[in-house]
Amino acid sequence: MSTAYVAVALVAIAANAFSGIAALVHYQRILPGMVKAGVPESWLTFPIGTLKTAGAAGLALGLAGVPWIGTAAAIGLILFFVCAVYTHIRASDYSPQFGLANGFLAMAVAVLVLGLAAR
């Protein structure tokens, strides 16, 4: 495992776990951005919070020695954040949460690429 992969994966795990848990508990500071993007509050638990948290757990399992789960989690997070970026674009929402969605997408791509290169 390369140092770059471990570092990027740890940051992605922490970021997705925090974001997923914030969605699961319906953290009030994220609600205005969701409204701007046209996302119903009922989606915060499932699919948003559940999928982000599961993605973080999958990346952690990848670091812990089950690389195919880490790869699957990275691919799942990429798909999730492609959909998130698309949702923001459709809603013409270019708020800071749009930037975060792009950052999370880039991070997931980096984890996938570095993880595959580390094999």
Count of structural domains, the chain: 1
pLDDT at 83: 98
Q: pLDDT grade, residue 112 (50/70/90)?
A: very high
Cα radius of gyration rounded to whole Å, the chain: 14
pLDDT tens, position by position, 31-67: 999 999 999 999 999 999 999 999 999 999 999 999 9
The mean pLDDT of the chain is 97
- In this model, does residue 1 exceed pLDDT 90? no
Token reading at 96: 């800071």
- One-letter-per-residue 3-state SS of 32-93: HHHHHHCCCHHHHHHHHHHHHHHHHHHHHHHHCCCHHHHHHHHHHHHHHHHHHHHHHHHCCC
Cβ neighbours of residue 77 under 8 Å, at least 6 residues apart?
Answer: 12, 16, 52, 55, 59, 104, 108, 111
Q: What is the spatial distance between Cα 45 and Cα 67, in angstroms, rounded to a whole number?
A: 27
Amino acid at 6: V
Q: pLDDT grade, residue 119 (50/70/90)?
A: confident
Percentage of the chain exceeding pLDDT 70: 100
What CA–CA distances, in Å, run from 7 to 55, 86, 109?
16, 28, 14
In 3D space, the residue among 93, 62, 74 whose CA is nearest the CA of residue 16 turns out to be 74
Amino acid at 87: T
pLDDT at 6: 98
Task: Provide the domain limits for residue 110.
Answer: 3-117
